[in-house]
Structure 1
Amino acid sequence: MTTTNTTKTRICILSDTHTETPHIRTFIHKPYRHPLPKSDIFLHAGDLTKVGRQEEHQIVVDMLKKDVHAEVKIIIAGNHDLTHDRKYYAEKGVGRHGSARLEDPEAIRALYTDDAAKDAGIVYMEEEVRTFTLKNGAKFTVYASPYTPEFCGWAFAYDRDEDRFNPHDGPIASSVNQWVPDFPGVDIMVTHGPPAGVLDKIYWGKNVGCDNLLQACRRAKPRLHVFGHIHEAYGAVRRDWSSDNNTEVEEEDLEIVMKNRRRYIDLSSGAEEPLRYGEETLFVNASIVTVGYTTDNAPWVVDLDLPVA
Structure 2
Amino acid sequence: MAASKHYVRLVIVSDTHRRFRRSLPFGDIVIHCGDSEWGVSELEAWASNLPHQHKVVIPGNMDYRLKGQTKGFTNVTYLQDKEIEIKGLKIYGSPWTPKFVGEFQLEDEKHAHAVWNRMPTDVDVLITHGPPKGILDVTSRGMSVGDSALLEKVRTVRPRVHCFGHVHESYGTLNDEHTLFCNAAVFNDHPPIVVDVPMNKTQPPRIAS
Q: Are the counterparts in 1 of residues 134 and 144 from structure 2 also a CA contact under 8 Å? A: yes
Letter matched to residue 44 of structure 2? V
Which whole-Å deviations, capped at 9, do the CAs of 1:222-268 have from their partners, x for residues lacking one? Answer: 1100000001110000022xxxxxxxxxxxxxxxxxxxxxxxxxxxx
| Larger helix proportion of the pair | 1
Per the alignment, residue 76 of structure 1 pairs with 58
SS in 1 for 2:135: coil
What does the per-residue CA deviation read over 1:55-113, in whole Å, with 9 as the maximum and x for residues that have no partner? xx5333311110x2222111000000113223xxxxxxxxxxxxxxxxxxx5xx544x2
Number of the residue aligned with 2:205: none
Q: Within the alignment, does 1:199 sit opposite 2:136 as a pair?
A: yes
Structure-1 separation of matches of 2:120 and 2:165:
21
- AA paired with 2:89? F
SS in 2 for 1:232: helix
2:126 aligned with 1:144, yes or no?
Answer: no
Q: Offset of 1:148 from its aligned partner?
A: 0.6
Partner in structure 2 of residue 157 of structure 1: 105
Larger radius of gyration: 1
5+ long unaligned stretches in structure 1: 1-5, 23-32, 87-105, 166-172, 241-279, 291-295
Query: Secondary structure at the residue paired with 1:215?
Result: helix
The one of 157, 168, 173 equivalent to 1:220 is 157
Measured at CA, do residues 226 and 284 of structure 1 come closer, stay the same or move farther in structure 2, by a change above 3 Å?
same
Match of 2:78 among 99, 102, 124: 124
Matches within 5 A, 1:167-186: 173=114, 176=115, 179-182=118-121, 185-186=122-123
RMSD: 2.1
Partner of 1:46: 34
**TM-score, with normalisation over the residues of structure 2?**
0.86
Amino acid at match of 2:85: T
Q: Aligned partners of 1:223 and 1:196: how far apart in 2? A: 18
Counterpart of 1:145 in structure 2: which amino acid?
Answer: S
- Asked whether 1:298 is paired with 2:191, we answer yes
2:180 is aligned with 1:282:
yes
What SS does the aligned partner of 2:47 have?
helix
Alignment check: 8 A CA contact 2:98 2:106 kept? yes
Partner of residue 61 from structure 1, selected from 44, 53, 56:
44
Quote the sequence identity (%).
34
User: How many residue pairs were aligned?
Assistant: 197
| TM-score, with length taken from structure 1 | 0.59
Cα separation, 2, equivalents of 1:212 and 1:299? 27
Contact 1:128 / 1:177 at 8 angstroms: preserved in 2?
no
- SS of 1:162's equivalent in the other structure is helix
8 Å contact 2:90–2:125 — kept in the other structure?
A: yes
| Residues 231-250 of structure 1 mapped to structure 2, 5 A cutoff | 231-240=168-177
